[in-house]
Every structure is written in C-alpha cells, then in structure tokens.
Amino acid sequence: MKPLQVFIVEDEPLIALTIETALKKQGYAVCGDAEDYETALKNITMLTPDLVLLDIQLEGKKNGVDLAMQLDIIGIPYMYLTSQTDACTIDRVKDTNPLGYIVKPFTETGLRSTIEVSWNNYSPKEKNYLTFTADNQLHKINQGEILYLKAYDNYCYIYTSCKKFLVPKTLKFVSESLNNENFIRVHRSYVVNINKVSALTSNTVLINAITIPLSKLHKKKIKKKLQS
C-alpha cells in the first residue's frame, strides 16, 4: 500500500525535523514542509498531500487556524499538532474541521496511533470536489463546504461559510457538476446544499441564517428530499 503523504506546517525547524523523522520511522512519507501561512498554502495546493500536520503558531500575521480554514475550503484533511491548548485557541479551533488534535510533546507511537485512528474514521471516497476558475485562479473545493449557488446573469456565485466565488459559468452549468444527491434547485436563481438547510417556510429556505427564496415549483421536491 502506498504510504500516506504528509505535509508538515511548523515554524520551528528543529521540531519540524523531529516530526519528519518520527513520521518516516512509523512508515509515513513526508512530501514537504513550511514555516508560514503563505508558503504552506501555496505548496499544499500544488502538492495535494493526503494529510497536513498543522501547528497553530506560525511565522507571520496568519496562524494555523487561518490556514485550516483554507484547507477546509479546498478539501485537504489536516490535524493540529501544537502545544497551544488555551481556551481562546480552542474556541477558534472549533470553527474548523480537523481530523484530530495532537498535543506537544508527543511520542512516536502516540503520533502514529492518533493519525491511524483519525485517518481510519475519515473516508476520502466520500469527499466530492468541485473544480472551477474564479478571479483568474483555479480552485478545488469540497462540495460539502458549499452552502448554496446563486445565479448572476451568465455567471454564478458559489457560497461557502468562509467565502464566496464568482464563477464565469451559468448556474445550470455549475450545478450539473455537483452531486445531485446533495444539491437541489429551490428557485430559478438558487441551488442549495440540502445538508445545510436548517429551516423551511412556505416561500423560503434558511441556511446559516441566510434566507433564500423558494418557488412553488420546487417546494414539493425539497420537502420530500428533507423528509427522506
């Protein structure tokens, strides 16, 4: 079996080397490392590792939690590997979706067992991705992170909890690339992620406190979808 490709984000070179050595001894492959947000995001996007081990304290203005939010958007799984366990940090971490949280100092066997259990509970096959161009950049995001799509003339907005993208394609074109089990049209200008719907009224759909219009034409279908 091909070894898990791991990328290390750590601002202390000696600690990064220790992590790399421990991973290799436990049978993992290290495909790269970085000390700051910008370098890490650039290299992770290019290398697409299987897993990122992410320290919270990094060089520069942006920290590991900021990077984690971007990894959630592009669908790269990660685990925190950090000594920071204060209440403020934990509160910020709650806004992200890591596979796990490893506290320094760690042991080699502890590192391996935590990675193995977390990875075993993670199913990459269930992760569906959407690739598109926006702002002259190619993006790849996990479809599960999409809240809804909104038509804008011959363009389309893609909304996630963290960001919105303006895609130079029609709503129909983009929606046809989505998993039709999870996405449904609720209005001529809107397609929503059924898993993100929190409430339904006679003429609206609610997602993350955002009110989206619901047409009579699509009401019966979405009610049936929600009930199933």
Q: What is the pLDDT of residues 134-181, one digit of tens each?
A: 887 768 788 888 999 999 999 999 999 888 999 999 999 999 888 878
The answer to whether residues 150 and 157 touch, using CB atoms and an 8 Å cutoff, is: yes
What pTM did the predictor assign?
Answer: 0.57
What pLDDT does 1 receive?
43
Homologous superfamily of the 130-227 domain (CATH): LytTr DNA-binding domain (2.40.50.1020)
Is the per-residue pLDDT at 127 higher than 70? no
Confidence bin at 196 (pLDDT 50/70/90): very high
- Domains of the chain by residue range: 5-125, 130-227
Q: Would the pLDDT of 124 be above 70?
A: no
β-pairing, 146-152 with 190-193?
antiparallel
When mean pLDDT is compared across 33-47, 50-64, 132-146, the lowest value belongs to: 132-146
| Alpha-carbon span 212 to 187, nearest angstrom | 9
Question: Using 50, 70 and 90 to split pLDDT, how confident is the model at 2?
Answer: low
pLDDT more than 90, % of the chain: 48
User: Which segment, 44-48, 121-125, 139-143, is predicted with the most confidence on average?
Assistant: 44-48
How far, in Å, CA of 21 to CA of 24, rounded? 5
Residue 35 has a pLDDT of: 94
Q: Which of 39-43, 93-97, 159-163 has the lowest mean pLDDT?
A: 93-97
- Tokens 């599960």 — which residue? 144
* Contact in structure between 10 and 83 (CB atoms under 8 Å): no
> What per-residue confidence (pLDDT) applies to 123?
61
Residue 30 or residue 124, greater confidence: 30
* CATH fold match for the domains 5-125 and 130-227: no
CA distances from 222 to 92, 150, 152, 196, 198 (A): 34, 17, 22, 12, 12
User: Which tokens sit at 27?
Assistant: 């049978």
Please, what is the average pLDDT of the chain? 88
**Which residues, listed in sequence order, are joined to residue 34 by a DSSP beta bridge?**
9
One CATH from 3.40.50.2300, 3.40.640.10, 3.40.50.450, 3.10.20.30 for 5-125: 3.40.50.2300
The whole-number pLDDT of residue 92 equals 78
Section 62-81 average pLDDT = 90
